[in-house]
């Protein structure tokens, strides 16, 4: 049985930004691997936190869940009209395997829908269900995308502070989020348990690829950096996002901050969740942040174009199944 975990709460509306950033630093600090020691209270060593007072309307979030339920209830044939193109649109059950190293060839037991940037060069690439079928879909998704993007950008300024950078580093000085690249991902898990001793994952073990993930759901699991591995349930807290960092952020921060492995197990009933992945624009070159290396702790990774890094990771998850 997985243990249940209560994560630290980060209040995005707090006026004490320095204390909030310090708390974020404690939560995300990768104390196991980094040579620069920071005292971390054991209870903070999670890599995930709840984000409250984040500015996204509760009602809007509910509307997104409703629209998502309506979409995934459509006949497969209808959904396949919007099949993934350039990683945007619908991916059916078992199309993706989030753990390409696993021997489970069936792929994850979930279906997804991706919405990318609404404006700019990429804006026209999104696929939208027909208005006859889902008249409110586009309006609701559009509004949610904008609100959650704004939340992600505010959070990025706290993460910058937590990394001893100016709070506008990601938006202005570094230019990574100017413009940002965000992907809204709707997920539906049918909850099938598999037969006999076959292992079925809703989402197999993975860490996210990008910078910051904001997740709205009822539960998710994460793995401790501990042997033997212990999986613990992360409970749903009403009105809070579950936040974790992706591998790009770990790399960017020279492993000062961590991404954390997590997975979703089928529970025998349907489940919906809504993830938002915030990433730098595709042309941004991700190289060790100025505050994250020193003579004794040089950069561990070569610079890489954000778009190339994400593309390689996505290709691996769809080709493995
Ligand atoms: O559905 C969830 O709770 C988690 C989904 C997830 O980890 C992902 O899409 O990367
Ligand atoms: Fe994930």
Categorize the per-residue pLDDT at 72 as very low, low, confident or very high, splitting at 50, 70 and 90.
Answer: very high
Categorize the per-residue pLDDT at 196 as very low, low, confident or very high, splitting at 50, 70 and 90.
Answer: low
Mean pLDDT of 288-294: 94
Mean pLDDT, the chain, whole residue set:
87
Spell out which residues have Cβ within 5 A of ligand 2, the ion. 208
Pocket of ligand 1 (CB under 6 A): 185, 187, 203, 208, 215, 217, 220, 262, 264, 273, 275
Ligand 1 pocket test, candidate residues 186, 244, 259, 262, most atoms within 8 A of CB: 262
* Nearest CA residue ID for atom 3, ligand 1: 220
Supply the pLDDT for residue 68: 97
- Counting from 1 in the atom list of ligand 1, the atom nearest the Cα of 273 is 1
Ligand 1 pocket test, candidate residues 48, 203, 247, 310, most atoms within 8 A of CB: 203
Mean pLDDT of 101-115: 84
pLDDT digits (tens, 9 = 90+) for 211-256: 999 999 865 545 444 445 677 788 888 899 999 999 999 999 998 8
pLDDT digits (tens, 9 = 90+) for 116-126: 999 988 888 99
Distances (CA, A) of 168 to 94, 134, 164, 211, 237: 40, 38, 11, 16, 29
Mean pLDDT of 41-64: 82
Share of the chain above pLDDT 70, in %: 86
Supply the pLDDT for residue 4: 56
Contacts of 123 (CB under 8 A, 6+ apart): 117
What residues pair up with 88 in beta bridges, in sequence order? 85
ipTM above 0.90, yes or no: yes
Supply the pLDDT for residue 45: 55
Question: In sequence order, which ranges of 29-186 are alpha helices (DSSP H)?
Answer: 58-72, 76-80, 137-162
Contacts of 106 (CB under 8 A, 6+ apart): 94, 200, 321
Angular region, 320: left φ>0, alpha ψ -120 to 50, beta rest:
alpha
């Amino acid at each position: 049985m997985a243990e249940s975990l209560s994560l630290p709460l980060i209040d995005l509306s707090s006026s004490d930004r320095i204390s909030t950033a310090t708390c974020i630093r404690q939560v995300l600090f990768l104390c196991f691997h980094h040579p620069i020691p920071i005292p971390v209270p054991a209870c903070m060593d999670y890599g995930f936190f709840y984000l409250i007072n984040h500015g996204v309307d509760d009602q809007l979030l509910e509307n997104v869940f409703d629209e998502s339920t309506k979409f995934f209830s459509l006949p497969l044939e209808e959904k396949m009209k919007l099949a993934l193109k350039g990683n945007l649109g619908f991916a059916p059950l078992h199309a993706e395997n989030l753990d390409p190293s696993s021997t489970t060839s069936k792929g994850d037991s979930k279906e997804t829908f991706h919405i990318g940037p609404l404006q700019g060069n990429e804006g026209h690439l999104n696929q939208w269900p027909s208005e006859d079928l889902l008249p409110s879909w586009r309006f609701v998704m559009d509004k949610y995308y904008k609100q959650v993007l704004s939340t992600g950008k505010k959070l990025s300024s706290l993460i910058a502070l937590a990394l001893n950078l100016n709070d506008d580093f990601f938006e202005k000085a570094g230019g990574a989020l100017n413009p940002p690249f965000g992907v809204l991902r709707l997920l539906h898990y049918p909850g099938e348990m598999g037969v006999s001793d076959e292992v079925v994952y809703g989402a197999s073990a993975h860490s996210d690829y990008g910078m910051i993930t904001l997740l709205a759901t009822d539960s998710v699991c994460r793995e401790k950096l501990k042997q033997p591995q212990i999986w613990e349930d992360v409970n749903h807290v009403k009105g809070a996002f579950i936040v974790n960092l992706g591998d790009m952020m770990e790399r960017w921060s020279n492993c000062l901050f961590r991404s954390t492995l997590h997975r979703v197990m089928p529970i025998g009933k349907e489940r919906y969740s809504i993830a938002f992945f915030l990433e730098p624009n595709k042309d941004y070159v991700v190289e060790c942040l100025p505050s994250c290396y020193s003579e004794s702790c040089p950069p561990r990774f070569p610079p890489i174009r954000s778009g190339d890094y994400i593309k390689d990771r996505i290709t691996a998850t769809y080709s493995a199944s």
